Chains A and B, each alone.
Chain A
Amino acid sequence: MADITEIQLPGVGVRYEFTSADGDNVGVVCHHGGRREVVVYTRDDPDRADTVLSLGADDSRTLSDLLGASQVSEAMAAMEQRIEGLALDWIEVTAASSLAGRTLADGELRSRTGASIVAVIRGETTEPAPGPDFVLEASDMAVAVGSPDALEKLRIALRS
């Protein structure tokens, strides 16, 4: 993946920029309110952007779906509330983990670590709120909520 540069636009939002494989400089302006603009920089004046698309918050979601990206990261950003002492993290289940191939209940993860697994992402599919009999597999991505300490314990458990 190309390197993405992030530039703050005070009072407006953030601009991201990358160079495409074809050599176009592409930028995305993310407004505070959720509106997005996709721009391409002109070749004769590299500082000038031609707006290709102007998208509302819903439009961006539709477009990113069509482009094949997952909606998870978007949903994550919305979920990331400012609650004191509570953190949200993604932890990959490694092949070396003793928990791979076992159910969530077997691992007794909540009582052992204090962190809760609220969703599991497997390839293209997402299992929201997995039940106690959900079987973890290697390279699953667990989305977990808890105190930073609890998440650290969970990370160790899912990796060894």
Chain B
Amino acid sequence: MTASVVAAAGGDVALAFIEIGAVALALALLARLAGRLGITAIPLYLLAGLAVGDGGVATLDVSEDFISLAAQIGVLLLLFTLGLEYTGDELKTGLRTGAVPGVVDAVANFVPGLGLGLLLGWEPTAAILLGGVTWISSSGVVSKVLGDLKRLGNRETPSVLNLLVIEDLAMAVYLPVVAALIAGQDAAATVLTVTGALVAVGVILVLALRFGDRLSTMLSGGSDESLLLTVFGLTLLVGGLAEQVQVSSAIGAFLVGLALDGQVRERAEQLIGPLRDLFAATFFLFFSFQIEPSTVAEALLPACGLLVVTVVTKLVSGHVSAARNGIGPAGRMRAGTALIARGEFSIVIASLGTGLADGTELGGLAAAYVLLTAIVGPLAAKYSDRLPRSLAARRVLTSPA
């Protein structure tokens, strides 16, 4: 990695600038198009990555190492800003009211991915990653859809948002576990690593919630410039340290975001936001950049099957969560459809498996699946009030509650 940076300092630097500049401009066009269409840009970035990547129309030579590192930073910043969105109180409310729906959601949506992975004859670790891909709804897409459809005031909306909190928190357990599985040690060592990782997450979480106030007060003094550098540095540093102890750098960054509170939180959001957009766009592009378009084409059929099954399972999650808050049938349907879209987290999870033997298939399937849900989800949410009520009614009758 450093070799190319050094090499780029020679004659390659011009070429590197041209490549990175071209990539950024292409992303800008896509972001603009997404804004025009009123959708999130993630599916477009994925498509663009497929088009220019391995086996596609263009290739990157000198800048690939830089872009791959930028993509990793993108993951950290994505997770950092996600953590930033939640206050300690919101987490506690989410945990208190959302534990049962959270478990239903996890089981109902994890199993289809896991099952398909095993059915395709993948190694168990890859199947577990696919389970994660189908489990987690996209916080980004869901909150955009709810805002666009003006549903933030609706009574079913807290059930949806609390479920997202639970899913995001569950990642703090899931990611370290899969990180240990991917490391591929023997059973005893894996158990040890997982335990160590979970203890570390628990300790950081408690520290973040207890001393977050103090940290925020400490940071609140300086200029925007110093705050930006501090927050960026802290995110990468904690992420790197977390990775060292096998906790997954993403979760380290998420916990840093959680720790910030009050005014500092708002300032950090404004300062890091643009940086996050830049690096995260690079991440989505780079993820599909590594995928051959043919693997996505081959994955379309299983992805469609997975889509059908997991649309239904997300409707179940939404129903259970909303019903517990006394929401009527129409509201339960809205909650379920809002949750269909998968996005950034699914891609983050799939990207962990690129080194596995079945990593290529996993990447292709995850890309196809996220593309499909990102299109179907917002549409289903938009027209949920017109979906046949009989569907909603039937599910109420058959639901165990």
Contact = CB atoms under 8 A, between A and B. Distances in A.
B232 to A, nearest CB: 21
A33 B164 CA distance: 20
A81 B220 CA distance: 11
Contact of A47 (B86, B165, B330): B330
Given A29-B153, A82-B213, A84-B217, A11 B143 contact: yes
A57 interface: no
Given A46-B328, A49-B153, A9 B213 contact: no
A10 B86 contact: yes
A33 B90 CA distance: 16
B262 A82 contact: yes
Contacts of B185: none
Interface in B209-244: 213, 216-217, 220
A12 B165 CA distance: 12
Contacts of A122: none
B266 A47 contact: no
A81 B213 CA distance: 12
Contacts of B151: 49
A150 interface: no
Interface string B132-175: 00000001000100000011111111100110110000000000
Nearest to B89: A8
A47 B327 contact: yes
Contact of B158 (A8, A33, A39): A8
Nearest to A47: B331
A81 B89 CA distance: 18
B155 A41 contact: yes
B94 interface: yes
B358 interface: no
A48 B216 CA distance: 37
A8 B328 contact: no
A27 B312 CA distance: 31
| Size range of the chain A interface in the assembly | 20 to 34
Interface string A2-41: 0000011111100100000000000101011100010101
Given A10-B86, A82-B262, A45 B164 contact: no
B272 to A, nearest CB: 15
A62 interface: no
A160 interface: no
B59 interface: no
B152 A37 contact: yes
A12 B152 contact: yes
B164 A11 contact: yes
Contact of B161 (A11, A46, A48): A11
Nearest to A52: B153
B319 to A, nearest CB: 13
Contacts of A37: 150, 152-153
B85 interface: yes
Contacts of B90: 8, 10-11
A71 interface: no
Given A10-B90, A11-B85, A82-B262, A48 B154 contact: yes
Q: Which of A10, A32, A51, A81 has the most CB of B within 10 A?
A: A10
B152 A29 contact: yes
Contacts of B294: none
A45 B389 CA distance: 13
Contacts of B86: 10-11
A146 B333 CA distance: 51
Given A10-B86, A46-B328, A51 B93 contact: no
A8 B90 CA distance: 7
Contacts of A32: 266
Given A15-B153, A33-B266, A10 B94 contact: yes
Given A8-B90, A10-B161, A10-B162, A45 B152 contact: no
Contacts of A45: 328, 330-331
A10 to B, nearest CB: 4
Contact of A10 (B153, B165, B328): B165
A88 B161 CA distance: 33
Given A10-B164, A10-B165, A33-B266, A47 B154 contact: yes
A31 B143 CA distance: 12
Given A10-B94, A11-B90, A41-B155, A82 B217 contact: yes
26 contacts: A8-B158, A9-B158, A10-B90, A10-B91, A10-B93, A10-B165, A11-B85, A11-B139, A29-B152, A37-B153, A39-B153, A45-B328, A45-B331, A46-B155, A47-B154, A47-B155, A47-B156, A47-B328, A47-B330, A48-B155, A48-B334, A48-B385, A49-B151, A49-B155, A51-B150, A84-B217
Given A48-B331, A49-B150, A82-B217, 5 more contacts: A8-B89, A10-B94, A46-B328, A49-B154, A84-B217
Q: Top 7 closest A-B pairs, CB basis?
A: A47-B331, A49-B153, A39-B153, A10-B90, A11-B85, A47-B155, A51-B150
